[in-house]
Chain A
Amino acid sequence: MAPLHESAAPRALRMDVSRVGRASRPSHSPHVPAKPEEMSWRDYLVMLLHIAAELEHALMVEYLYAAYSLGGPAVGAHTGTVRGWHDELVTIAREEMGHLLSVQNALVLLGAPISFERDDYPWSGPFNAFPFALERLTLTSLAKYVYSEMPADDAISGPDVEVARRVRELVGQEAGVRVGQVYDRIIALVENPALVPDSSFHPESYDSQADWDEWGRSYRPETHQPYTSTPDIPPPHSRKTTVFVTKVATRTELSASLRAIAAQGEAEHLGRKPKAAPSHFDRFAAMFRRYEVLLAEDPHWSPSRLVPVNPVVTSAGASAPEGATRITAPDSCTWASLFNIRYRMLLTLLTYASTGPREQPELAEQRRAYVVSRIFGEMYNLKALAGVLVRLPLGDPDAPERAGPPFQMPYTLVLPPEASFWRMQIDLLDSSADLERQLLSHPHGLPDGVRYLHALREADATARTWIEQLLAGLTGKKTKKRRA
């Protein structure tokens, strides 16, 4: 039997979604483009889920970038507030990661390929509220987040009405489709058996779907104490990330999963349970209100460092794509390249965890612990590297502009066969080691960075040994004798 889901196709081969509706994108009343005639409804649903996955991925890195940008000397006396925003942004990004995995599960249930792909910037499409952009947190970038996660007008009430008005003022006419509108369309299709028949669903895929126990990392509210009713919404300082990673076997479960995702983001009207925690829109709107108050007190106040819009590392002499900012300080370039390598490791491992080796499930099971640990480990590496990059210069070391994590996508996420996949991982470790050596060869700069590199190098050496053992098993070659 053919696998129920395969790794994502290279972007070059993907359907040109711009053909679906870029031309039809209205500026004042944006809507999700209609199904092209040549597509079946199931096809269209799969495409929309791919779009949703891409949106979740994009939002996640945008929020992370904004979170990493926070801090710096301009924060002044508002450290507590800004730290709270940092935590809120990271929390929402984690939840977007849960959305991303849950959407993959939806694709798996439909027997469709999964996708962790995302286009690099500058990038726009008919399903985006705004062109994808990594930006430091400003009132304007925050307004985009508020807009992206905004519910329909009739679901906005109270002080949020004014927030919505101000946000529209700031983002102007460029705003496109909100995330909630994409989910509205997806859910409508999923819940319509006439368009998407029962035969489209593959409940036997349940076991191979991403599982909260693996990916949730305890990010959900505490278990209720016995004999207590549903607790009130906890105050922000004690609120925990609520990561949904929902496995689905039926149309009903898929519908519930998608509604929960949408409700956590913005579309509260889609939620089936009483609202248990503020949506992403609620949280962004609260940040927006506070930001405006602080700006009223000091129009020059900024919560973030001067990190660039869409930072990129390019080959020597090459210019940055339009809309991107080239990192030019040599050390910063090296750190940024290191970031990109680790990001690639993360995405390839994530894709591997979702797809292979499917022909030998027992192998997948045996490697699962390591792969999952590595994925989370690479997330921690990205956090660490981003923290270093935002403290390094963008170009001129004496200028206030800082670098930032580039989040540049690898050229492909199509994975080679099993042994080659692990050889590729060794290649990536070697590339990483080269960059680490470069940075350690002249250890001026951040002492923290040096301390981190020593640890990274050691952890990678262990990772390399692990992979070599695995490859020896795959290729039948003997490795060193066990213990003297």
Chain B
Amino acid sequence: MTIREIRILPSLAIARLGSADEPQDNFTIVGDPKRPLGFREIVPLPTFVVDPETGAIASVHTPETIVLKSQGKIRPVAPFIEVWARVDDDEALQPLTLSLLAAHGSSVSDLSWTVRVANRKAERRTGHPGDRVEATAGPFSDHAPQPLAGHSPHFLSPELSLDFGSVRFIKPTAAHPEIRLRFTPAKGLIYGPKLTEKEIEEMREADPSVHDLHVVPKAQAIYDKTKGWWKFSIPPGVRNADPHIDTFYDETLPPALFAIIPPGPVWLNNNVAVSRGYLDDACDGTVEVALTPKGANRLEAFARIVAAPPAVVPDSLFVRTLADDLDQAIFGPDVPQDEAEEVTRARAEDIVRRGFETVRYLNVSVMNGNPVQGRDPLDIDTMPAEEAFDVYRSARPVFAPHTADTLSILALHHRVYSALRSGAAPWFPTLLRKPDQVGDFTDGGRRKMPALMAGADGNYLALTRRQIDTITRAATRSFELPDVDLTVEADSDPSRLVPRNASAWSAAQRASELNHAAAGNPVSTRAVTSVGNCTPGLEVDFRAVWRRVFTGILLREYDNLVMAIEDPQHADLHFHRLLRVEYPALGDSSLVRGFDTTTVQIGPNPYDTAAESVVLSIEANPNGVAPLEWSNLLAKMLHERAGKTVTCIFTKDKADLDNPAYDASQRAHYVVRSFVVRPFFEGDTAMISRELAQPGELTQGLCSPWQNDYRECSCYYWASARPDFVNVEASASGQSVGDNWFQKDHDGEYVPDDYVDTRLVLYDDLFNHWEKWLRFNVRGRDLPDGSEQ
């Protein structure tokens, strides 16, 4: 017997931060077929108890209830990752076990693990590689916990480290002979510069309204304040395309995603953002396992791990998750013609279900841009307000104001979902926002679905192309319906929902590996519980994965600017912009398929708002150009041209301070060059290519610290992951009432989010007590005392 290949499953595992000693017990979420509109049930599953001394699984128990928080501390989610193997000529993967190793003539000691993680958030802002915090564990083969001690040249000394948690090779036993490793993330601590009392006092005095300014504990004050991250700032008001600015700054989108010296937030305070120099202990990286039997070839396998904030609404799934984007990367944007109709239909239903799971947590009336208690809608954090700020136009409600109410809109979604369950074909594909319509701010454009939320490009959210095609295809299915069970669960076997033909099998296998439910892992370790519209994101900034898709250059995560050159032959393209990509159409190379990398923001023409539109130009963006998110933009090209060349069309000159759109009439003046499209996955595995993203790069665009994101990004990014409206019920007036999740006192009186209302959770509340204020919500209600389910 020969082990010819090993794999790590799942290929991506999400850990979640928490300071409790005991990791989160295993659970999944399932729908009740008899209550299809209700919340998913949290179902405890067999949970491994690891002996702290030996590193072996000492026992397995299934808890009666799931405890998410214990004694005020959130239980960390510590995923297991498993090693699987292909033996001889069998294509099926099987768990690598002690007996399989023995049959192969190997032993546990022939296995070694290497884990590399990093936090590059500060580096992403300052541009200084010294601000990178990296940790490596291994190679190791023993079963002791391996600390992931993060080091940086900008720490005060090489001995000081930032704790990213630990990894442990679980000792296989006769009872549990499988080969697995566990990643236990950090506690969610904030690190920062070592400051003097005077400097701390100056920060305190900068905004006397901050009564409880966070002070980084001494043990975590390890950053050398002279190295640049402390008091890092970008001059206020910078817009790279501003004609009055002649210096390029590599801002993030949104800008200033870091803890700033009060007052905050930046946009209410003249755009002044001076960094507190905070670092968090979130990270991402790779796990490598190698099997080196004596006298045989070395086998190795890889996976990615991420440490992220807790999933505070564990029984709901967002309408566009990371799993949707990965699904698109695997299967492409189009539903295959030969996909079984019931499969397409089940996925379409699932999308609509997640749609209403998302709407539940939006105060639709407020998020619609309606005045709240007479206050100017511009004062409240909503997508219509965001849009108004972006394009310098008056804020307008999206829907007729009196039709916007949470329970009413939720009820409508319920009826749509119910009708779909009857076998009715979806009738609303034309109401879905297409990915190239995200900059359409006319009433018709803004009312498309999903509504009231932001996408990865900061415009209105669109589903993935594959999600859209799924609903479109489900709408055009045949008249005769098969009698089948159509239930998609968070933990469904992906192979059940993929095409059955042989050519698609490898993609199905890849999906299966990526979403593999490893024994002992809660559902919150999987991509289906991670938001997909990364602006910048909560678990990962998925925008970053596309930066190296064209071999030889590095693009910015959110737009078409060439930020770095990795192949010297393209050195002349530095700071040019990629305007358009073209390649031969699949099946007919005489036809050219192409796409522009930007769209134009348009709004209603005041003299005929229903039928006519105008370009929303402003001084700093005279052509109203808006970049499109890479994930949807590149999906088709990736599917058809991975490993092949495409033609890229760049601006003739550097355009770091400009924001041009592709103009076909100017084509002769552009730089036209061929690039190889990097495959998204390594080989036939589900490992996201290490050439696309190195450790730390999938999280580098996230807020630093991540707690900032909960304060700055309201629910119009990820309503069901960062809720807005909780404890919602009907009132005697007919309108929905409830609490803003982020108000401190949940008394049933909704407090609109203006970032600074002291009734709300503010920055330092989070920095000091994030485990208190990020309250778990189950079945739409606060958990009693935030502790147990």
A residues lining the B interface (CB < 8 Å): 70-73, 75, 79, 82-83, 90, 211-214, 217-218, 220-226, 240, 363, 365-370, 372-374, 376-378, 380-381, 383-385, 387-388, 391, 446-449, 451-452, 454-456, 458-459, 462-463, 465-466, 469-470, 472-474, 479, 482-483
B585 to chain A, nearest CB (A): 20
Residues of B within 8 A of A90 (CB): 427
Q: Which residues of A contact B443 (CB under 8 A)?
A: 213, 223
Cβ–Cβ contact B418 & A455, under 8 A: yes
Which of B397-432 touch A at CB < 8 Å? 399-400, 402-405, 407-409, 411-412, 414-419, 421-424, 427, 430-431
Secondary structure of the A side of the interface?
Answer: helix
| A466 close to B421 (CB less than 8 A) | no
Residue-wise, chain B 360-372 has the 8 Å CB interface mask toward A (1 for contact) of 0000010000000
Asked if residues B37 and A223 are in contact (CB atoms below 8 Å), the reply is: no
0/1 interface trace, chain B 262-276, chain A, CB 8 Å (1 if under): 000000000000000
Bound-state CA distance A377–B420 (Å) is: 12
Which residue on chain B has the smallest CB distance to residue A376?
B412
Instruction: Answer whether A71 and B399 are a contact pair too, CB < 8 Å, given A448-B423, A452-B419.
Output: no
Distance to closest chain B CB from A472 (angstroms): 6
Chain B proximity of A402: nearest CB distance (Å)? 12
* B664 at interface, CB cutoff 8 A: no
Q: A223-B611, A462-B414, A463-B411 are in contact. Are A452 and B732 (CB under 8 A)?
A: no
Instruction: Name A468's closest neighbour in chain B (CB-CB).
Output: B730
Q: What are 28 A-B contacts with C-beta separation under 8 Å?
A: A79-B478, A211-B400, A222-B444, A226-B600, A226-B613, A240-B430, A368-B403, A369-B409, A370-B408, A372-B403, A373-B403, A373-B405, A373-B412, A377-B412, A383-B419, A384-B419, A384-B424, A388-B423, A391-B481, A446-B483, A452-B418, A452-B423, A455-B417, A459-B418, A462-B37, A465-B730, A470-B733, A482-B748
**Nearest B residue (CB) for A82:** B479
- What residues of A have a CB within 8 angstroms of the CB of B422 in the complex? 384-385, 387-388, 448-449, 451-452
- In the assembled complex, which residues on chain B have CB atoms less than 8 Å from the CB atom of A226? 600, 602, 605, 613-615
Are the CB atoms of A454 and B423 closer together than 8 Å? no
B671 close to A (CB within 8 Å): no
Which residues from chain B contact A368 at a C-beta distance below 8 Å? 402-403
Tell which of B38, B409, B612, B735 touches A224, judged by Cβ atoms closer than 8 Å: B612
Cβ–Cβ < 8 Å partners of B36 in chain A: 451, 454-455, 458
Shortest Cβ distance from residue B347 to the other chain A in the assembled complex, whole angstroms: 16
CB closest residue in chain A, given B415:
A377
Contact (Cβ within 8 A) B400 A483: no
Let me know if B415 and A459 touch, CB within 8 A.
yes
User: Which residue of the partner chain, among A71, A223, A366, A479, contacts B444 with CB atoms under 8 Å?
Assistant: A223
Smallest CB separation, B430 vs chain A (Å): 6
* Nearest chain A CB to B402 CB, angstrom units: 4
Q: Is the CB of B447 within 8 A of A218?
A: yes
Q: Which residues of A contact B404 (CB under 8 A)?
A: 369
User: Knowing A225-B613, A469-B731 touch, does A380 contact B416 (C-beta < 8 A)?
Assistant: yes
Given A448-B483, A451-B486, A454-B34, 20 more pairs with CB closer than 8 A? A90-B427, A218-B431, A218-B447, A222-B444, A223-B612, A226-B602, A369-B734, A373-B411, A377-B414, A384-B419, A451-B33, A452-B422, A458-B35, A458-B414, A459-B418, A462-B37, A462-B414, A463-B411, A469-B729, A483-B781
User: Residue A446 contacts which of B415, B419, B423, B445 (CB distance < 8 angstroms)?
Assistant: B423
The residue on A at minimum CB distance from B407 is A466
- Find chain A residues with CB under 8 A from B159 CB: none
- Chain A's closest residue to B483 (CB) is A447
Is the Cβ of B418 less than 8 Å from the Cβ of A384? Answer: yes
Cβ-closest chain B residue relative to A225: B613
Question: B613 to chain A: which residues have CB within 8 Å?
Answer: 223-226
Query: Which of the residues A211, A213, A381, A388 comes within 8 Å of B415, measured between beta carbons?
Result: A381
A373 to B730, CA, bound (A): 14
Asked if B748 contacts A469 (CB within 8 A), the reply is no
Bound Cα distance from A378 to B731, whole angstroms: 22
Q: From A374, A383, A391, name the one whose CB has the most chain B CB atoms within 10 angstroms.
A: A383
Which among B38, B400, B417, B602 has the highest number of chain A CB atoms within 10 Å?
B400
- Contact: B611 with A377, CB < 8 Å? no
Which residues of A sit under 8 angstroms from B35, Cβ to Cβ?
Answer: 454, 458
Given A376-B415, A455-B421, is A370 in contact with B734 using a C-beta cutoff of 8 Å? Answer: yes
Indicate if the CB atoms of A459 and B734 lie closer than 8 Å: no
- Docked complex Cα distance between A469 and B730 (Å): 7
Chain B contacts with A in 437-487, Cβ cutoff 8 A: 440, 442-445, 447-448, 476, 478-481, 483-486
A369 partner, pick from B402, B419, B444, B485, beta carbons under 8 A: B402
Smallest CB–CB gap between B457 and chain A, Å?
Answer: 19
CB distance from A136 to the nearest CB of B (A): 13
| Contact with A367, one of B409, B600, B734, B781 (Cβ below 8 angstroms) | B734
Q: Across the interface, which residues of B come within 8 angstroms of A462, CB to CB?
A: 37, 407, 411, 414
A183 to B729, CA, bound (A): 47
Residues of A within 8 A of B483 (CB): 446-448
Task: State whether B476 touches A83 (Cβ < 8 A).
Answer: yes
Q: Which residues of B contact A363 (CB under 8 A)?
A: 733-734
Give the residue of A220, A221, A366, A448 whose beta carbon is less than 8 angstroms from that of B734. Answer: A366
Q: Could you say which of B35, B486, B615, B732 has the most chain A C-beta atoms within 10 Å of its C-beta? A: B732
Tell whether B695 is near chain A: CB-to-CB under 8 Å: no
CB < 8 Å: which of A217, A223, A387, A474 contacts B445? Answer: A223
The answer, yes or no, to whether B560 is at the interface (CB within 8 Å) is no
Whether B150 sits at the interface, judged by CB under 8 Å, is no
CA of A455 to CA of B423, assembled, Å:
13
A212 to B611, CA, bound (A): 13
Q: A75 and B611 in contact (CB under 8 A), knowing A370-B734, A380-B418?
A: no
Q: Which residues of A contact B731 (CB under 8 A)?
A: 469, 473
Instruction: Flag if A223 contacts B610 (CB, 8 Å).
Output: yes
- Is B400's CB under 8 angstroms from A214's CB? yes
Structural contact, A473 and B614, CB atoms closer than 8 A: no
Q: How far, in angstroms, from A367 to B729 measured CA to CA in the complex?
A: 14
Q: Are A383 and B427 in contact (CB under 8 A)?
A: yes
**B97: CB under 8 A from chain A?**
no
Instruction: Name the A residues within 8 Å of B423 (CB-CB).
Output: 384, 387-388, 446, 448, 452
Is the pair A369, B403 in contact by a Cβ cutoff of 8 Å?
Answer: yes
Alpha-carbon distance between A391 and B781 when the two chains are bound, in angstroms: 41
Q: Which residues of B lie under 8 Å from residue A391 when comparing CB positions?
A: 481
Contacts of A222 in B (CB 8 A): 444
What separation, in Å, do the CA atoms of A303 and B497 have in the docked complex? 32
- B485-497 interface bits toward A, Cβ cutoff 8 Å, 1 = contact, 0 = none: 1100000000000
Interchain CB contact under 8 A, A473 and B733 = yes
Q: How far is the CA of A82 from the CA of B425 in the complex (A)?
A: 14
A197 → B minimal CB distance (Å) = 32
A370 and B733 alpha carbons, distance in the complex (Å): 11
When each residue 619-636 of chain B gets 1 if its CB lies under 8 Å from chain A and 0 otherwise, what string results? 000000000000000000
- 5 A-B pairs closest in CB distance: A473-B732, A71-B479, A377-B415, A384-B422, A452-B422
Q: Which residues of A contact B445 (CB under 8 A)?
A: 223
Contacts of B478 in A (CB 8 A): 79
Which of B605, B734, B748 is within 8 Å of A470, CB to CB?
A: B734
CA distance A368 to B36 in the complex (A): 26
Interface string of B773-789 (1 = CB under 8 A from A): 00000000100000000
Q: Which residues of chain A come closer than 8 Å to B444, judged between CB atoms?
A: 218, 220, 222-223
Which chain B residues in 13-57 approach chain A with CB under 8 Å? Answer: 33-38
Tell me whether A458 and B419 are in contact in the complex, defined as CB-CB below 8 angstroms, given that A226-B614, A448-B481 are known contacts: no
Contacts of A224 in B (CB 8 A): 611-613
Q: B421–A448 contact, CB under 8 A?
A: yes
Q: Cα distance A451–B430 when bound, in Å?
A: 26
A377 contacts B411, CB within 8 Å?
A: yes
Residues of B within 8 A of A458 (CB): 35-38, 414
Closest to A479 in B: B732
Contact B33 A71 (CB under 8 A): no
In the assembled complex, the CB of B750 is this many whole angstroms from the nearest CB of chain A, namely 13
Alpha-carbon distance between A201 and B476 when the two chains are bound, in angstroms: 46
